[in-house]
Amino acid sequence: MTTKYQQFGEKGESIAVNCLKKQGYRIIELNYRTKLGEIDIIAKQGKTLVFIEVKARKSSRFGRPELAVTPKKQRKISMVALYYLKSTKQNNAKARFDVVAINLAKAKERPSIKIIKNAFELAYK
């Protein structure tokens, strides 16, 4: 049974996938999980492999969604990305980290979606 938080997360990821596809991203993996953690979306844009974190908010009470991708979260995503690159033998692939920030504050309006390319650098320390 999925919780309301999981359902909200799935809704955010679905919105992100649709938006990314319109921007020319080709989705490779959704919810890539390892013992190290999870990456919401792995995609390709051109020849670049893109590791994407999706953050959605219903209100601005806790700040903008993209601010939730803290340095600790960046390190976790980086570790999972390195694991993915190694396990798929793509160690030399051109890669970057993007964040999709979604604001769903006004339910009757279209969500505000922001794709932040190169949102952070590889962080593993």
Q: Does residue 59 lie in a domain region? A: yes
Dihedral Cα 109, 110, 115, 119, nearest 10 deg: 30
Residues 92-103: pLDDT tens digits? 999 999 999 999
Compute the distance between CA of residue 115 and CA of residue 23 in angstroms, rounded to an integer. 10
Residues 73-114: pLDDT tens digits? 999 999 999 999 999 999 899 999 999 999 987 656 788 899
- Domain extent for 96: 4-120
- Give the ranges where 4-92 is alpha helix by DSSP (H): 4-22, 71-87
Q: Does residue 60 lie in a domain region? A: yes
Q: Does residue 125 lie in a domain region? A: no
Q: Does residue 21 lie in a domain region? A: yes
Q: Taking phi first (over 0 means left), then psi (-120 to 50 degrees means alpha), and beta for anything else, what does residue 29 get?
A: beta
What is the chain's mean pLDDT, rounded? 90
Q: Does residue 80 lie in a domain region? A: yes
How many structural domains comprise the chain?
1
Read off the CATH number of the domain in which 45 is found: 3.40.1350.10
Q: Taking phi first (over 0 means left), then psi (-120 to 50 degrees means alpha), and beta for anything else, what does residue 118 get?
A: left
Q: Does residue 114 lie in a domain region? A: yes
Q: Does residue 26 lie in a domain region? A: yes
